[in-house]
Structure 1
């Protein structure tokens, strides 16, 4: 697909410095700066809408630390500071929409912890990739403190890119869950759905987790049929997007529907409908009476916009 790497969180060209993960002495000899992350929210300079960094000794006694990469001879880390006593309140944190900002007196002037989905389209590609990597990695550490093999508390290694069990010697590495997300079309129309937990009127492309032993194409056909009863034939891969909410890789595909009758599974989806191109344009403009378009920055929005612009091939 043309422009595939222009999707949000893609195209940042981050040097992930894998060589330094295996060489702690070389890593320690380089200048460094740290991105604090509070409950999954990276530190930002809201005036510039850019990541804000602190010296390595700031909050040095708090949380897990992960090497993100290397930039112009400086190594970049992320630190989990979720235990920090912040100002700004916690109402709405973790919700579908989080407009809150949190601050602390030891942070740079004006800096605040901001929900990534709120600003993701305003960040540079590199800052977006750094923020997604930081959020995803620190969430993995938060939920994988114990060995899945024997239950012993694990220890961080490779500059944050693995956890080792001191009891059974099992090594654990960061996981990413593959998710198919489908632009399903039939003629001049596209199939959209609303998850039960989403606000009324909010529709997006259908999506679902892949299962063991399943190809991307098979997952697309299965998920669409399970959720809506629509049969899909040809499937084309389009683009991918890391989605650190909490730790998925969205695999964007184009499914060509062979039927259009909708029969939803209410356990899987609240609503599904077909929208014509003209109606989809109305939704993007905020004028559709029923449908709100997928949020900016999500791969669903990216796929729909490129479909409307005839840029899928």
Structure 2
């Protein structure tokens, strides 16, 4: 019988095994789903089925420049210990190399891309689960093909930052500026890169909050609306300084902003440096970690 793409997808979801292995198993089982699952288990490929449901919130964020392409990835594991495992770290770097080479459109395309050893990224991930014994998951990625990309990895993979610069200078000349920007992004995690990215909705919300705060302050409430408006504008300047990277005080020298620092270096080197984009991945960000209740666990084991 003909094996459909939907059948392959169903088996993949049931077992967590790569698409090619699922297709082979379904073909061998002549379309029988239960038989295909059995075949995959016999081959040891579906041994990680139970692991797939476990929460992976540790792991590693990694950024690098491979053949001129900047890539940043996050790959999750269940424990911090595995995040330091040499095989796991090699896998994360391998995924970044695939991102740089294949430039996938989305996560599905990345997982289906060749890893470089005869397996796809999905199949290599599956192999890692079997070898390491934990749920491992490629979570997200980004890449830049143009300009100069500068990577920064904080605390051995807790945070990965990739800064992308548009410049008339060489990669070597702007490396320090890019690294300084990346370190500031890692440390302060600004909401925006530049004040031009702050939408009117965000500004309106900030103004509303400030006006309400003034109404609740007896000293401010009686002031004329024009005065209040002037105070709000002043506070919005502070909002930009706190929330926008280029307008923030430069951590290494608070006498200037990050924007002024980049302009100063560009002038000294006789060229231009412009921040085009940046991506910051923090491992486990937004993933709800499972909270184990020790007392409940003991009660469960005692059958209470």
| Greater strand proportion | 1
Q: Which has the larger radius of gyration?
A: 2
Going by fraction, where is helix more abundant, 1 or 2?
A: 2
Per the TM superposition, whether the score is higher than 0.5 is: no
Give the TM-score taking structure 2 as reference length: 0.27
TM-score when scaled to structure 1?
0.26
